[in-house]
Amino acid sequence: MKIEIEKVGIVGLGLMGGSFALALKKIRPGCKIVGYDHNDQHCIEALELGIADKITDELADLYEMDLVILAIPVDAIISILGKFEALSPRTTIIDLGSTKKLIVESVPQSIRENFIASHPMTGTEKFGPSAALPDLYRGKVVVLCNIEDSGEMQRKTAKEIFSDMGMKIFYMDAAEHDRHAAFISHMPHALSYSLANAVMGQENPRDIIALAGGGFRDMSRIAKSSPNMWIDVFRQNRDNLMKAIESFKEELDRCEKMVEEEDWKRLYDWMKRANVLHEIL
């Protein structure tokens, strides 16, 4: 028997929150979604697009929800969690943040059992309610962290919702998650921003971009991601990100040295070793 979810609060009505709302309406068509967002335009668009059934500017209106989704920048997640008072044992709060350790450590003890720390490994470079996609989560991985500290009902609710959305669930310690995410998510964003700025710093960037093919577009695409979101991610996961960047720099230095020395045989072997990654993916 499925857990009853009738009232849902979505905090943050952009890509992640909006897509979650649309996906939830498909698997729980009877649920009513209340949106909460500091951006007035996002609220208007969310109503027009059918993402939310109602908008509120009072956080207290979400205290009685069956499910609350926090789809806002990671620093804002920590801030807003401190504003939730004691909740009903039935309420489940799920955050969708890209970092986990500081968020988990910041959850007030009074609502710790209500809380599920999650990171859906999905997204696009677009943002705002108009970027929301009903199948954004389908077929993707979601990581649930430290769920042994969450309530039994909350664990069951999260597993059921993510499974019904078609997601593959993995379990991880929050600190372990942040170490791994630095390499497969946070560092790639740093590289993409760096690539974009390297091109923009040239004398004729428009001429360079005119030559851009699929490779450049793929690598630079996520440089369009919201700085408001990613500055918080980099700040919260600073130490792990620094280690990931240093590891990348070591490999780039190897490449530079082999090119400089015209050591094409070693360079070929180095490239072949990198090809193995896609046998794993």
pLDDT at 198 over 90: no
- The number of helices, as runs of H, and strands, as runs of E, in the chain is 13, 8
According to the model, what pLDDT value does residue 253 have? 96
Q: Which of 71, 238, 91 is nearest to 151 (CA)?
A: 91
pLDDT at 57: 92
Q: What is the mean pLDDT of residues 45-65?
A: 93
- The rounded mean pLDDT for the chain is 92
- Which run of H or of E encompasses 67? strand 67-70
Do 75 and 236 meet the contact criterion of CB atoms below 8 Å apart?
Answer: yes
Please, which pLDDT band fits residue 215 given cuts at 50, 70 and 90? confident
**120, 137 contact by CB (below 8 A):** yes
Q: Tokens in use for 40?
A: 């007035």
What predicted TM-score, i.e. pTM, was given to this entire model? Answer: 0.88
Query: Can you give the residue ranges of every domain in the chain?
Result: 7-172, 177-280
> 71, 14 in Cβ contact below 8 A?
yes
Mean pLDDT of 138-156: 96
Fold of 7-172: Rossmann fold (3.40.50)
The pLDDT assigned to 4 comes to: 86
What residues contact residue 1 under an 8 Å CB cut-off, 6+ apart? none
Domains 7-172 and 177-280 share a fold: no
Mean pLDDT of the region 49-76: 94
Convert the pLDDT of each residue in 229-274 to its tens digit: 899 999 999 999 999 999 999 999 999 999 999 999 999 999 999 9
pLDDT above 70 as % of the chain: 96
d(CA 95, CA 143): 11
Looking at the domain that runs over 177-280, which CATH code has it been given? 1.10.3660.10
* pLDDT (mean) for 113-126: 91
